[in-house]
Structure 1
Amino acid sequence: MTEHNHTEHNHTEHNHTEHIERVEQHVEHGFGPVWDATSRVLVLGSMPSPKSREAGFYYMHRQNRFWPVMTALFADLDNHDDVPGDTPDTRRAFALRHHIALWDVISSCDITGASDATIRHAVANDITPILRGSQVTHVFTTGAKAGQLYRRLIAPNLDAQQLDTKMTQLPSTSPANAAARLPDLIAIYRDAFRQAGIVVND
């Protein structure tokens, strides 16, 4: 009897958690960009997932393929220590070491869980300080929503400031994009980075 009640309690808790995740919330980004004067590319997501906001860093959901893709493209194959690791500090160091800047299109928005499709009332980040203070010549967005919001909210501001920065929309590395296999993502990202003049691994 006790075991049955405990099971019911867990089931109720699980349903309650699912219900909370489905409620629309107003979300602030919560942490700043990663970049320095030597950054050559800027990778923009849409908005950090709940897991990434909790960790205070980019692409921290354990099933997100972003860091495996970056490892395949940039890790020094002769240096086994040149890996992103799994902490914000090691991943930040890896990105900067390989001249990759990271941020997101959105500064704040209303969103349900981690679903880009539910994003409303988005306010954009201002990426001009990064473009003016670094060697970034190309922006990559990860996912359709990030690309759409970049074109709507960021590109007009760059045009107004006469900043001619090219943007390429790449597929999302999120687990929500389950149709995209890791080898496919690596190939697509490799081709896009090469077309932008960035040297990557074969």
Structure 2
Amino acid sequence: MSIASACVPVPSLTGLAPVIDATTRILVLGSFPGAASLAAGQYYAHPRNLLWPILSQLTGEDLAGLPYDERLPRLLAHGIGLWDVLGACEREGSLDSAIRAPAANDFARLRERCPLLETVGFNGKTAGKFAPQFADAGYRTVLLPSTSPAYAAMPFAQKLLAWQRLLAD
């Protein structure tokens, strides 16, 4: 590393607002939005991210084919919400391994805001590090393979099979 590159500040980033309401029964938590999502102001905006195709399969509704502003109310109508475990961090690029100075979202009012919430799914290993705190709070937790295009080791069909555990009792 050169002296010049060591002096370049790492961007301080703020995440997206939660997509939840009083009818949310399942909450999918990612780690922190990638660069494409932050730029678009949309969850899972990278065109190769598999979240929307997977949620389309789980809900039986083509959420991936809808404009973003129509996806969110349809997702909520299925009792599914989205958020991230981190509300802010420093990071260059989109990789979780590049996250520095992480600050968790404030989940203190989650039960009040989502009284029907039963299941919290964690999209990838970084988000999954928060599973014990949600399990301790009485939620059913499901660790899920990442939908990120950076995690290409598992094919779509295998990821979908794992994600179906969100809907299991």
> Could you say which TM-score interval applies, normalised by the shorter chain?
0.7 to 0.9
Are 1:124 and 2:104 counterparts?
yes
CA displacement at 1:99 relative to structure 2: 0.7
Gaps of 5+ in 2: none
CA displacement at 1:164 relative to structure 2: 1.4
CA displacement at 1:46 relative to structure 2: 0.4
Partner of residue 149, structure 2: 175
1:96 is paired with a residue whose SS is helix
- Does the 8 A contact of 1:43 with 1:102 survive in 2? yes
TM-score (structure 2 length as normaliser): 0.86
Calculate percent identity across the aligned residue pairs: 34
Partner of residue 127, structure 2: 146
Are 1:50 and 2:50 counterparts?
no
- Does the 8 A contact of 2:25 with 2:119 survive in 1? yes
Are 1:193 and 2:141 counterparts?
no
**d(CA) in 1 for partners of 2:108, 2:158:** 32
2:20 corresponds, among 31, 35, 44, to: 35
Aligned CA distance change for structure 1 residues 84 and 128 (closer, same or farther; 3 Å): farther
After superposition, what is the alpha-carbon deviation per residue over 1:42-92, rounded to whole angstroms, capped at 9, x for unaligned?
10000001111111121110000000000111125xxxxx53435321221
Partner of residue 100, structure 1: 80
Matches within 5 A, 1:59-98: 59-76=44-61, 83-98=63-78
2:92 corresponds, among 112, 127, 152, to: 112
Which is richer in helix?
1
- Does the 8 A contact of 1:24 with 1:113 survive in 2? no
**d(CA) in 1 for partners of 2:27, 2:167:** 14
After superposition, what is the alpha-carbon deviation per residue over 1:11-46, rounded to whole angstroms, capped at 9, x for unaligned?
xxxxxxxx9xxx8322111x3111111110110000
- Does the 8 A contact of 2:142 with 2:166 survive in 1? no
**d(CA) in 1 for partners of 2:56, 2:26:** 16
Partner of residue 6, structure 1: none
- Does the 8 A contact of 2:27 with 2:83 survive in 1? yes
After superposition, what is the alpha-carbon deviation per residue over 1:83-139, rounded to whole angstroms, capped at 9, x for unaligned?
343532122122111110110000111112001012121110012323222211111
TM-score (structure 1 length as normaliser): 0.73
- Does the 8 A contact of 1:84 with 1:90 survive in 2? no
- Does the 8 A contact of 1:84 with 1:94 survive in 2? no
- Does the 8 A contact of 2:52 with 2:63 survive in 1? no
Gaps of 5+ in 1: 1-18, 77-81, 198-202
**How many residue pairs get matched?**
161
- Superposed CA RMSD: 2.1
After TM superposition, which residue ranges in structure 1, 4 or more long, deviate above 4 angstroms?
none
